[in-house]
Amino acid sequence: MDQLYEVASPEAVEEWTERERRERKLDAKATAGLSVAGIANLFGGEIAYGSGSVVEKEQKRRVRYVEKLRDVLLTIAADHGEIPALADCLQDSAFGLYIHHAGTFQVTEPVTDTRSDQIVTLRSAVDATTLLLDCSLKFFSSADEQGRLLVHSGNFRFFERQMPLNLETVFIFLNRDGGEIVGSPLYLRLQVDETDVFAMPAMI
């Protein structure tokens, strides 16, 4: 994502947003996709991580990541239009570079090696199609400063493949082979009940 952020221009995003108001009409069909409004609200509200004991340095690092992610997503929308939902891509048999999906994910194999150079694959399904996302362990929010995954009570069962999680993602489309789609995520966001007063945006 850092490479994408380097080419993201705030001026271009502002210019495109203004042009969006004047000219562009979003496709009403793609209700499950990620629109400009959806991106703007994706990490809306107060951003908080962990408990009050979390060090300020860690808080700033993660808040900065969210700000960079928002800029990258807005720039992608500026260049490519609304980020389509995977279900719509499958229905239309048309796949762009960036695709949005929200669903149930589970690791394909239990994570036994938590070193920063390891890759974990997450699996989700849309009807008869399987989505496989290859994720670097060092980019999970629970990784330490050396990029090693920290397994704790909140993520243990997920990484042990004992429990799935409902996640939202925008991923880079890499390949489709029959009923399998392979991608690399720009982010993974834990989906929570929006009616829960204790719920807030979170990255796993």
Q: What is the pLDDT along the chain (204 residues), one digit of tens a residue?
A: 555 655 555 555 555 455 444 444 444 343 456 776 666 666 554 444 344 444 454 555 566 777 888 888 888 888 878 899 999 999 999 999 999 999 999 999 999 999 989 999 999 999 999 999 999 998 888 888 788 888 888 899 999 999 999 999 999 999 999 999 999 999 998 886 554 433 333 445
CATH no. for 2-190: 2.40.50.110
pLDDT at 86: 96
pLDDT at 48: 42
Distance of alpha carbon 97 from alpha carbon 112, whole angstroms: 32
pTM: 0.69
DSSP string, 46-88: ----S-TTS-HHHHHHHHHHHHHHHHHHHHHHHHH-SB-BHHH
Structural domain boundaries of the chain?
A: 2-190
